[in-house]
Structure 1
């Protein structure tokens, strides 16, 4: 009798659990998966394979999917997730969250050479790209309201004349495998390997400065990251160039005045 009671209890538990799951997760006849809700007005054209609703309000907003461990928000949890921005309002804004970093990668993922762009908590004041960035325009924060301890730059022409411009090419990192290792790859893997190696070829000649040269003359324009690589604030060179041009023009004006005084210039009638 005791065994029957245990079996009946287990059966009831399974039925209750299934009812709870069915209330939370629904697979429609067309294969769509709906989690935490299912409204006919959502996705009327059936574009989605899966839809994750949130638990807040009429609009079932702020659905989120965690990847890996999550933790409690009040205990600095919310580790890695993707979802709708906010906690209890219908923002219609995508949130991509990594508590200690956000990495955009390709191919093998976490290897440094496979990173397209990243933000890391080790250097929280920057988002770093490992590719060229193209944009219609870039505007930088330069309002006086955000600045303090403002001082004139002064004359920099003599220092600027010491800076050496160079032409260069970027080093290219490719995946190198032995013929034996390549033979062990499938045809698709070999095609992918060839594509990756061909896409890393950038033989363009570029113009610029060496960070070490700039640092020796304008240390304020060079930063070093935690891996020891140096970066140049090229935009910061613009005020140096402007002040140097003004200084050079002052020298030219003084020479013209001196030449005119000595009658070395043709006088117009």
Structure 2
């Protein structure tokens, strides 16, 4: 395309309408590089920039213009509305692109189109003039009795009764109560002064004062609860947070004042109204340098735990042989349990995790003195099921005498035991090794080469000396908070002590056979001697 030239004929804003126009009239004349005026329909892009070169496009639209002898006339803004903020800049510039060719230079839009700005001349910062209150002076309103509706917006300080407000709202009055709130012409609140410069806040409820907050006097609330950090107080004062006191203390109904964080002597606790509390985390610590003495006609301490924890926990962190928990019950002879424990799984459990090379005891019992029968450790098993008065998973050692009941007065249907030697001859003695099981099964079988009988074989010969036994263990033993996973191992055991009477009888039978044989030998020897 040949280079085009434009001659601006008219650049104005038409005011032929009752309302302020929203378009700009623009006339021009297009000619090619040879000076020939165009007589055709051409597409023209109109762009408004904020600078005469480069810059930012503020508005653009495209129109098809009909040139007659080069002259064309358009209204800018009929395709894309002109924004009211377009002429907020100092000098907007118009650029034309005809048939893809940018015409230069840009044309500055003169002052006439600035009449578009008059569209929002009745607005202030986007607000209508009806949103503002009229005043006779710049900063003063003195129209007694006037009322208004809607919102009043003030961007600076407001003074009531003073021409020099120093804060967002400054109220000055010669009376003691400059501010009062009313509902249906009745006062519900009041902010005032006692006349000496000290202010106060008063709240009413159908006449009488229900709350008072004074600057230099007593403040009070007549009824209701007060919440700090919570909108749902459940007591006269409910604080959801920390209460801090830098002086003074807490005064109790008996007239005493607690001024320090340490606890004083607990001299008495009234049942039902004494020490109580609760929580889900943390611990309660009582530090005393003297014994904490508790007394009751019922349980002295009644503790309940609902989780995987201890109802009562005692720990001795000293270096001496003191007790984590020490119990004494009635030192009178023959009465009282120093400790009594009842459990759904284990009544008493003793654990030792030694780290040294000394002698350690998981459960220790000791008794001495007196002329009666004493038991350091006493176990009693009864009832149906598999019960053991004592069960040891591992080696068992003792010093002293191991005895069992054998009193004739405890026995009935006493019969001689015969053919013991024959039964002994049927027994096979074996050497063997125990299978080693996982430690978690807590079976405690001995290691090394063993000598003994096989229970199943002995059961065919002397079934009375073989018993069915059960070893139970918890797979999760020692895992804090874990559910119990109890399994059992069924096995046959041999009463080796019960074999002793059988061996005695067998030896007696064998001795009788020997004596009979000796007598027979003597008789045969005598017969031989007689034949000589």
Q: Does 1:155 align with 2:400?
A: no
Deviates more, 1:121-130 or 1:254-263: 121-130
Tell me if the contact between 2:328 and 2:337 (Cα under 8 Å) persists in the aligned partners: yes
Coordinate RMSD, CA, aligned = 4.9
**Following TM superposition, by how much is the alpha carbon of 1:263 offset from its aligned partner in structure 2, in angstroms?**
0.9
- Distance of 2:465 and 2:422 partners within structure 1: 17
> Deviations 1:51-83 (Å, cap 9, x if unpaired)?
xxx7459xx9x97877769xxxxxxxxxxxx98
Tell me if the contact between 1:64 and 1:84 (Cα under 8 Å) persists in the aligned partners: no
- Distance of 2:397 and 2:500 partners within structure 1: 20
Query: Which residue matches 1:130?
Result: 393
The structure with the greater share of residues assigned to strand is 2
Unpaired runs of 5+ residues, structure 1, are 39-53, 70-81, 108-115, 177-199
1:82-231 paired onto structure 2 within 5 Å: 91=336, 93-99=338-344, 101-102=346-347, 122-136=385-399, 137-174=401-438, 203-226=447-470, 227-231=489-493
Residues 259 and 147 (structure 1), Cα distance of their counterparts in 2 relative to 1, 3 Å cut? same
- Residue of 258, 275, 282 corresponding to 1:20: 275
1:228-239 paired onto structure 2 within 5 Å: 228-239=490-501
> Deviations 1:79-103 (Å, cap 9, x if unpaired)?
xxx9859799862544343355457
The structure with the greater share of residues assigned to helix is 1
Larger RCO (alpha carbons 8 Å, 6+ apart):
1
Tell me if the contact between 2:420 and 2:502 (Cα under 8 Å) persists in the aligned partners: yes
Query: Which residue matches 1:185?
Result: none
Tell me if the contact between 2:418 and 2:505 (Cα under 8 Å) persists in the aligned partners: yes
Query: Which residue matches 1:197?
Result: none
Query: Which residue matches 1:29?
Result: 288
- Distance of 1:150 and 1:68 partners within structure 2: 55
Residues 217 and 103 (structure 1), Cα distance of their counterparts in 2 relative to 1, 3 Å cut? farther
Give the SS at the match of 1:223.
Answer: strand
Residues 234 and 175 (structure 1), Cα distance of their counterparts in 2 relative to 1, 3 Å cut? closer
Give the SS at the match of 1:164.
Answer: coil
Residues 84 and 145 (structure 1), Cα distance of their counterparts in 2 relative to 1, 3 Å cut? farther
Give the SS at the match of 1:148.
Answer: coil
**Following TM superposition, by how much is the alpha carbon of 1:228 offset from its aligned partner in structure 2, in angstroms?**
3.0
Tell me if the contact between 2:329 and 2:337 (Cα under 8 Å) persists in the aligned partners: no
Give the SS at the match of 2:426.
Answer: coil
Aligned residues: 199
From the CA coordinates, give the structure whose radius of gyration is larger. Answer: 2
- Residue of 497, 502, 507 corresponding to 1:240: 502
Tell me if the contact between 2:330 and 2:336 (Cα under 8 Å) persists in the aligned partners: no
- Distance of 2:402 and 2:409 partners within structure 1: 20
**Following TM superposition, by how much is the alpha carbon of 1:242 offset from its aligned partner in structure 2, in angstroms?**
0.5
**Following TM superposition, by how much is the alpha carbon of 1:135 offset from its aligned partner in structure 2, in angstroms?**
0.4
TM-score by length of structure 2 reads 0.30
Tell me if the contact between 1:83 and 1:96 (Cα under 8 Å) persists in the aligned partners: no
- Distance of 1:66 and 1:101 partners within structure 2: 17
